[in-house]
Structure 1
Amino acid sequence: MTSASLLNRLIHAPEIVVMPGVFDAFSAKLAEQAGFPAVQCSGAAISGVHFGRPDYSMISMEEMAACTARIVRSVTVPVMADGDNGFGNAVSTHYTVQAFEAAGAAGINLEDQITPKRCGHLDGKHILDIHEATAKIQAAAEARRDPDFVINARTDALAVEGIDGAVRRGNAYLAAGATMIFVEGVTSRDEISQAVSQINGPVAVNVIEGGKSPHHLTFGELQNLGVARVSLPAALLLSALAGMRTALDRIRADDGTAGLGELLLPFREAHDLIGMRDIEDLEKRYLA
């Protein structure tokens, strides 16, 4: 079974699939180690961690695909890529899907914002005309080589056209070949319920801590509402940043690192996480 087929099966299963947002091999490996069945590349996190840039269409398709490929090869679970808005028009979207599929991704997020796009939980978003956005999803669906490669069509219409606009676009994108509809920026149980009941296919949402997400809803409650997938694009990055800031403040205050204790992953475990045991085994086999 291909990774795309596995991800497709997870999306259509009765149980909700929870996908932590990852941004490098370490975060992806930790998510896999924690037992999550699939991971989501976070474009905003990749932009910040790898390039020091905000989520504002500053990273090229080739750069994002290269980062995605490194994440894919670090884990065995399916990896959903972040294709922003296809990095251009429908033709660009066609080649974007081919590039990310070649990078080993099991699926891709494609959104209907204009360029430059921005984080879906920030204000000031602008979206494409529905006909142009639908043509991009059609181009994406026709570009995939594996028919199970997941086209996760994200709409940011909720903040611009309301829930009715999000539903209308979601159904248009499904008709154009999308696998799943990602309704970005949901703020309430009622919005989620309406999206699930009126969109004619699997519905995805995300939870961003500090964003517009209804944080009081558990994954079980989201599953009961009919959500197929929930992504957590910020949780790992924000926790890592907070941990690093705390460690740095403590180092300054303590005049050393002796007091870091519980903040640290054991040294050997960090090396093992990225495969040092395999290197040592190969050294014994070939270099003894």
Structure 2
Amino acid sequence: MSKTRDFQNLINEPGSFILPGAYDAMSARLIEEIGFKAIYATGAGISNAQLGWADVGLTSLKEVVDIVARMTEVTTKPIVVDGDTGFGNAINVLRTVREFERAGVAAIQMEDQVSPKKCGHFSGKEVISKEEMVGKIKAALDARHDENLAIMARTDALAVNGIEDALDRAHAYSEAGADIIFVEAPTTIDQLQQITHSLKGIPQVINLVEGGRTPLISLKEAEDLGFKIMLCANTVLRSAIKGITDSLRILKEEGSQENLLNLICTWEERQSLFKLNQIKEWEKKYLYSE
């Protein structure tokens, strides 16, 4: 079964699920190893980890495609890619979808921000017109070769124009053919309830950013509210930053690794994650065969 079909089954079967964010092949593989059902290729995480800059639209389509292709190569789980604004207008979206589809993704998220975009929980965002975004969604649907490739439409209008405009856009994006709707950065439980009530019956995303605008809730609470996907886009990246910082601080202050061993994986865990045994099997089969 294809990864696109796997993801369609996920969004259509009963129950909600957590979608953790990966920023490279290693973090994608870890998410699969722990047992999550799908992986999110986070635009913010890729910008942070690969460029060393904040999520303000600095990454190019080619950079993201290359990184996501490495993720799909080493994982069996469906990957949802953060496609930002589609990297341009509706004509650019045609190419964006084809590039991501060739890279092996199962779903593409696009948002209605003005390009260059900003993180959904940053201030100072701007949005394009509803009509322009509808055109982008239609272009995305026409560009895909696999009809199971899911299109996730995100609106950032709540922070810019208020909840009524955000809901109006969400309905328009669903009517245009988007498989999943994502109203970004609600700030209260009442707004969360208003969103799911208004869009009842449509698969929806709640994006939970630690320290962001949306209140942190559990998966059960998200499901009870009516959200299908609980997106935790940068939990993995931020835990990695904390772990690396703590390890480096001990190494710098103490000049020894003795007291940081509990902060790092074992030698065996590292080699297991990166499939050293598989490589050794290939060596025996291909390098040393008679």
TM-score (norm 1): 0.97
- How far residue 147 of structure 1 moved from its aligned partner, in angstroms, is 1.0
CA distance in 1, matches of 2:105, 2:208: 22
CA distance in 2, matches of 1:99, 1:282: 31
SS in 2 for 1:70: helix
CA distance in 2, matches of 1:79, 1:170: 23
Aligned to 1:213: 214
Q: Do 1:12 and 1:228's aligned partners in 2 also have CA atoms closer than 8 Å?
A: no
CA distance in 2, matches of 1:281, 1:9: 34
Unpaired segments ≥5 residues, structure 2: none
One-letter amino acid of the structure 2 residue matched with residue 114 of structure 1: V
User: Greater shift after overlay, 223-232 or 277-286?
Assistant: 277-286
Aligned to 1:174: 174
CA distance in 2, matches of 1:166, 1:88: 21
Q: Do 2:45 and 2:234's aligned partners in 1 also have CA atoms closer than 8 Å?
A: yes
- How far residue 281 of structure 1 moved from its aligned partner, in angstroms, is 1.4
Aligned to 2:203: 202
Aligned to 2:274: 274
- How far residue 12 of structure 1 moved from its aligned partner, in angstroms, is 2.0
Q: Do 1:23 and 1:41's aligned partners in 2 also have CA atoms closer than 8 Å?
A: yes
Aligned to 2:261: 261
Aligned to 2:160: 160
Aligned to 1:119: 119
- How far residue 138 of structure 1 moved from its aligned partner, in angstroms, is 1.0
One-letter amino acid of the structure 2 residue matched with residue 239 of structure 1: S
CA distance in 2, matches of 1:115, 1:285: 50
Q: Do 1:196 and 1:227's aligned partners in 2 also have CA atoms closer than 8 Å?
A: yes
Q: Do 2:206 and 2:222's aligned partners in 1 also have CA atoms closer than 8 Å?
A: no
CA distance in 2, matches of 1:103, 1:76: 13
User: Greater shift after overlay, 12-21 or 95-104?
Assistant: 12-21
Count matched residues.
287
CA distance in 2, matches of 1:287, 1:115: 50
One-letter amino acid of the structure 2 residue matched with residue 202 of structure 1: P
Over the residues paired in the alignment, what is the CA RMSD in angstroms? Answer: 1.1
One-letter amino acid of the structure 2 residue matched with residue 88 of structure 1: G
- Matched residues, percent identical? 38
Q: Do 1:141 and 1:176's aligned partners in 2 also have CA atoms closer than 8 Å?
A: no
Q: How does 1:61-140 map to 2 (within 5 A)?
A: 61-140=61-140
SS in 2 for 1:19: strand
Q: Do 1:4 and 1:107's aligned partners in 2 also have CA atoms closer than 8 Å?
A: yes
Q: Do 1:84 and 1:109's aligned partners in 2 also have CA atoms closer than 8 Å?
A: yes
SS in 1 for 2:77: coil
CA distance in 1, matches of 2:178, 2:114: 19
Aligned to 2:54: 54
SS in 1 for 2:125: coil
User: Greater shift after overlay, 275-284 or 81-90?
Assistant: 275-284
Q: Do 1:127 and 1:156's aligned partners in 2 also have CA atoms closer than 8 Å?
A: yes
Unpaired segments ≥5 residues, structure 1: none
Structure 1 residues 43-101: Cα deviation after superposition (integer angstroms, max 9, x where no partner): 01101211223212211111111111101111100000111000000010111111101
Instruction: Name segments (4+ residues, structure 1) moved above 4 Å.
Output: none
- How far residue 225 of structure 1 moved from its aligned partner, in angstroms, is 0.9
Q: How does 1:242-257 map to 2 (within 5 A)?
A: 242-257=242-257
Aligned to 2:228: 228
- How far residue 285 of structure 1 moved from its aligned partner, in angstroms, is 2.8
One-letter amino acid of the structure 2 residue matched with residue 262 of structure 1: N
SS in 1 for 2:122: coil
Q: Do 2:25 and 2:67's aligned partners in 1 also have CA atoms closer than 8 Å?
A: no
Aligned to 2:19: 19
One-letter amino acid of the structure 2 residue matched with residue 210 of structure 1: G
Q: Do 2:24 and 2:70's aligned partners in 1 also have CA atoms closer than 8 Å?
A: yes
One-letter amino acid of the structure 1 residue matched with residue 55 of structure 2: D
